[in-house]
Amino acid sequence: MGCIVKTVLKKIKERSSKYAAEKLKHGVCWVGYEDTEGYQHELEGHNHKDFCEDCIVDVLAEIESNERFEEPEGFKEIDYFVSHNPESNDFAYCEACGHIIASTFDPSEQELEHWLSLTKEEWESSLDADVTYYELTVILDNYGIVEENDGKIKQIAKTVFTFI
């Protein structure tokens, strides 16, 4: 592993672990329903929102109690899908509580470019929050996995190093 990457990972470990222990969520959930024949479907209008396992039950209850909720044809009951540690290229955030939901992360170019485009002020305010240390840990942990990402990951590590 690149030396700078390793060094930065070590320096940000404590706050990253703090986020992982206190805030990180598990299980990417999305809203669906079961039909009268026992099949699961996604619920239109809710397809693209991720929720964590802690929030999904409240989300379902809220949808069901909403008087404007229209049952799709063949509807039996509201239900949800869950995927544990799904593969993703971007961080999944719970739409309800806002925390990151753990995934197997392979950063997209866009994700790496996002970090590389931060200004000094943006870095400083981002580094106020534990979540940033977690995100950076996940990104830097990808060093050595996809060769074409390594240059950018190393560059991110170098930038972080100047702030911590």
Q: Which is nearer to Zn ion, 11 or 23 (CB)?
A: 23
Residues constituting the chain: 164
CB of 82 to Zn ion, least distance (A): 12
CB of 159 to Zn ion, least distance (A): 30
In the bound state with Zn ion, the residue whose beta carbon lies nearer, of 55 and 156, is: 55
Q: Hey, how many other C-beta atoms are within 10 angstroms of the C-beta on 43?
A: 20
In the bound complex, what is the minimum distance in angstroms from residue 81's beta carbon to Zn ion?
15
Q: Which residues bind Zn ion (CB under 5 A)?
A: 52, 55, 94, 96-97
Q: How far apart are CA 25 and CA 10, in angstroms?
A: 23
CA separation (Å) from 116 to 42, 66, 134, 151?
A: 36, 43, 17, 11
To the nearest whole angstrom, how small is the minimum distance from the Cβ of residue 59 to Zn ion? 9
58 versus 77: smaller Cβ distance to Zn ion: 58
Q: Which of 1, 30, 15 is nearest to 132 (CA)?
A: 15
Token digits of residue 29: 């959930």
Closer of 79 and 150 to Zn ion (Cβ): 79
Q: In angstroms, rounded to a whole number, what is the distance separating the alpha carbons of residues 48 and 125?
A: 29
